[in-house]
């Protein structure tokens, strides 16, 4: 297993990070089996584990907490806050009120006194970034977290947060967690260069493009849209939709690249992500022991320049062939009111 320093934190983490979103009700509900998978990953040299409070409504954190009993000091533990937890107002977001409350719940579920990396899961347009950074800085001072970062933030909001922290003397986001894969390369345009300039660690998610690069999906073959990841977002896998044509065409070419260097498509996908100099670690979320074995099998694969050039010719740098699942969209795009003048103003013009 290879290791890299996590941004400017001085913390060394494995290049492959164990994601635990699939542990719990939404994936593998067998706690004992999930714990065995976590232990197997640790035994193979993975020292970086990522979870979130909202994964299976806290169940994933509980599983991770059980698995780390007696091994906590050897693991860099990351979790997240933002999404609603339960019914009612003020039970989500990036406010001081919610962060201070929810970090205590995560510490309880994880069975630990501290969190190594506490991440803001998504931007919150209703909360001033100064409010968020102030709360996170206080948690570092209290020893409840060691460092903090963000997840799926656009480059401009990361820069804004950096300058607010500089002006106010707050701690800075040390990491960013964006989606990145062979067919979702949009973060290469500005996000990855921004993180590199600010000395931020980058831990990426969805390297298999939500299962599209698992090797089980191929052009010209029937796709079962009622099971697995396809059942969650069937429109991303449906070969009859014109929007998916470029994905399926690229898929076949990428399979040829993988076969040409003697590896599987998932192994190529993981090796591609960690080849970028701005990427610290790639998060993979196995549901079964077989999934973990497949991840570990390709952990040492390194791609040469010729292979990376072939990939660039298939999916040009900075190109997104699909919108990554769960990627944040700004209010300026999701709320029509944010981009339409009132009728009275339009008629006056």
Long-range CB contacts (within 8 A, 24+) of 140-143? 140/171, 143/113, 143/114
Tell me the Ramachandran region of residue 330: left when phi exceeds 0, alpha when psi lies from -120 to 50, beta otherwise: beta
- CA distance to 68, 177, 315, per residue, from 318 (Å): 38, 17, 8
Angle made by CA atoms 111, 114, 117, in degrees to the nearest 5: 115
Closest CA to 207 of 285, 311, 317: 285
Looking at the chain, list the stretches that DSSP marks H as alpha helix, in order from N- to C-terminal side: 31-43, 59-67, 96-110, 129-141, 155-168, 191-197, 228-232, 245-260, 265-275, 289-297, 305-314, 331-334, 343-348
User: Is the Cβ–Cβ distance between 317 and 289 less than 8 Å?
Assistant: no
Catalytic entry in 55, 162, 180, 322: 55
Residue 154 three-state SS = coil
Please give the Cα distance from 153 to 167 (Å, whole number). Answer: 20
Concerning whether 55 is annotated as a catalytic residue, the answer is yes
Widest CA span of the chain, in angstroms?
70
For 109, other C-beta atoms within 10 Å of its C-beta total: 20
CA dihedral 161, 163, 167, 169 (to 10 degrees): 50
Query: Rounded CA gap, 63 and 110, in Å?
Result: 8
Give catalytic residues, as residue numbers.
55
């Amino acid at each position: 297993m290879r290791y890299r320093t996590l941004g400017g934190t001085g913390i060394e983490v494995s290049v492959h990070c164990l994601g635990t979103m699939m542990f719990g009700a939404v994936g593998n509900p067998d706690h004992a089996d999930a714990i065995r998978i976590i232990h197997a990953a640790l035994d193979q040299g993975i020292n970086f584990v990522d979870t979130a409070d909202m994964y299976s409504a806290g169940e994933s954190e509980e599983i991770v907490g059980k698995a780390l009993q007696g091994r906590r000091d050897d693991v860099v533990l990351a979790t997240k806050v933002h999404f609603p937890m339960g019914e009612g107002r003020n039970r989500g977001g990036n406010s001081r009120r919610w962060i201070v409350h929810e970090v205590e719940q995560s510490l309880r579920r994880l069975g630990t006194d501290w969190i190594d990396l506490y991440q803001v899961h998504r931007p919150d347009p209703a909360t001033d970034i100064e409010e968020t950074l102030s709360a996170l800085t206080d948690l570092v001072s209290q020893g409840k977290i060691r460092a903090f970062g963000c997840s799926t933030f656009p480059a401009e909001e990361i820069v804004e947060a950096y300058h607010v922290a500089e002006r106010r003397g707050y701690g800075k986001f040390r990491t960013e967690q964006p989606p990145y894969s062979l067919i979702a390369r949009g973060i290469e345009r500005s996000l990855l260069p921004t993180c590199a300039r600010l000395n931020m660690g980058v831990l990426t998610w969805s390297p298999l493009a939500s299962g599209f690069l698992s090797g089980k999906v191929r052009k010209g073959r029937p796709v079962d849209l009622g099971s697995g990841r396809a059942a969650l977002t069937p429109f991303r896998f449906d070969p009859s939709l014109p929007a998916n044509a470029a994905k399926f065409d690229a898929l076949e070419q990428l399979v040829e690249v993988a076969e040409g260097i003697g590896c599987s498509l998932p192994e190529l996908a993981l090796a591609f992500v960690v080849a970028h100099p701005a990427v610290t670690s790639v998060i993979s979320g196995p549901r079964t022991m077989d999934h973990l074995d497949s991840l570990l099998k390709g952990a040492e694969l390194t791609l040469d320049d010729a292979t990376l050039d072939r990939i660039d010719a298939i999916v040009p740098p900075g190109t997104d062939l699909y919108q990554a699942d769960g990627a944040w969209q700004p209010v300026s795009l999701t709320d029509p009111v944010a981009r339409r003048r009132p009728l009275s103003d339009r008629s006056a013009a």
